[in-house]
Chains A and B, each alone.
Chain A
Amino acid sequence: GAGVSQSPSNKVTEKGKDVELRCDPISGHTALYWYRQSLGQGLEFLIYFQGNSAPDKSGLPSDRFSAERTGGSVSTLTIQRTQQEDSAVYLCASSQGGVSGELFFGEGSRLTVL
């Protein structure tokens, strides 16, 4: 696609429910990253995919968080048993890979846990 697409753009859920957030990277981009943006915390790295594998999951905050990528394309971030502190904007970015640091970001999925 023309850019990184994320869905849903907004999600309101109740504490304890599971949520899935989807990311469609730019076609041909092999690297995919998830970040979390919350007030006072800036941008936190969550996980990195190269193709379908995730060699760096160091930023996932707890075992309630998981992510997968299929077909070297779409990625899903799943949060189980959501807590209020999970409320944030979840950003996905993709790149052609390598060390360039030039990432292309989606507009994010805003998650609100009541």
Chain B
Amino acid sequence: GNSVTQMEGPVTLSEEAFLTINCTYTATGYPSLFWYVQYPGEGLQLLLKATKADDKGSNKGFEATYRKETTSFHLEKGSVQVSDSAVYFCALVDTSYGKLTFGQGTILTVHP
């Protein structure tokens, strides 16, 4: 079946550092790919998405590019802020009815 593998955390960075969180997937076909974020005390929310190969999703300074040749969707941000501290989940849409399969989640902590 389809699956998503994320780099294990936690990840701890200083403010303004460069962030990469790796995500690879196994799937039949080319499903849409997502990054969801869970801020402390809040529900998961969609951060960005890409629906086909070579698409780049972007939001709030975060970017991820759908790479079918490496089956990857790595999340990047050039300069993180303390407010980016959260849990980040990579996911793919698994079915025709929008069911998502998630990675394990990566805890990011950004220090001033």
Q: Which residues of A contact B89 (CB under 8 A)?
A: 42-43
| Closest-CB distance, B40 to chain A (whole angstroms) | 11
B61 within 8 A of A: no
B binding-site residues for A, Cβ under 8 Å: 32, 34, 36, 41-46, 49, 89, 91-93, 95-105
A101 within 8 A of B: yes
Number of A positions contacting B (CB below 8 A): 27
Q: Could you say which of A14-22, A63-71, A102-110 contacts chain B?
A: A102-110
Main secondary structure of the interface of A (DSSP, over half): strand
A48-B97 Cα distance, complex, nearest whole Å = 9
A binding-site residues for B, Cβ under 8 Å: 3-4, 31, 33, 35, 42-43, 45, 48, 50, 55-56, 91, 93, 95, 97-108
Q: Which residues of B contact A35 (CB under 8 A)?
A: 102
| Closest-CB distance, B68 to chain A (whole angstroms) | 17
